[in-house]
Amino acid sequence: MYGWIWRHLPFGRAGRLIGSLLLAGVAVAVLWYAVFPWAEPLLPFDDVQVTDGGAGDVVDPADPADPAGPGGAGVDEPTGDEHDLPYSTASNNPEPSASGGR
């Protein structure tokens, strides 16, 4: 297929190089702006479940028998502030030490 395209591009070697780069750019642009945005909702990359269990716990949100599933007994309902963090977010920089970091 690539040989057929190369043979049918006009204007000698320079035209073939420029034409093949343009064809590759058009193919990348069509994939980037049309195909990938269309396919993104169909792919499971954003379907992430985080639990308080051990590293081997896997939660299936569609399984009604799973206690951590929808409406299950293992689901912790947020109390007031659902984004309660165990650390300070006021400052990302610690106070400088007296030794100056030396």
The residue ranges of every structural domain in the chain are 2-43
The answer to whether the beta carbons of residues 73 and 65 sit under 8 Å apart is: no
Tokens representing 57 are 């716990």
- How sure is the predictor about 30, in pLDDT bands with cuts at 50, 70 and 90? very high
Where do the H-state alpha helices sit in the chain? Answer: 2-8, 12-30, 36-39
9/27 Cα distance (integer angstroms): 16
Task: Round to whole Å and give the CA distance between 67 and 88.
Answer: 32
Whole-prediction pTM? 0.41
Report d(CA 2, CA 20) in Å as an integer.
Answer: 9
Residue 55 to residues 25, 44, 61, 85, Cα–Cα distance (Å): 43, 20, 17, 21
pLDDT tens digits for 43-83? Answer: 877 777 776 655 555 556 566 555 554 554 444 555 555 66
* Cα–Cα distance for residue pair 47/61, rounded to 1 Å: 10
The residue among 10 and 101 whose pLDDT is bigger is 10
Q: Which residues are CB-neighbours of 89 under 8 A, at least 6 positions away?
A: none
Band (27; pLDDT cuts 50, 70, 90): very high
* Residue 19 pLDDT greater than 90, yes or no: no
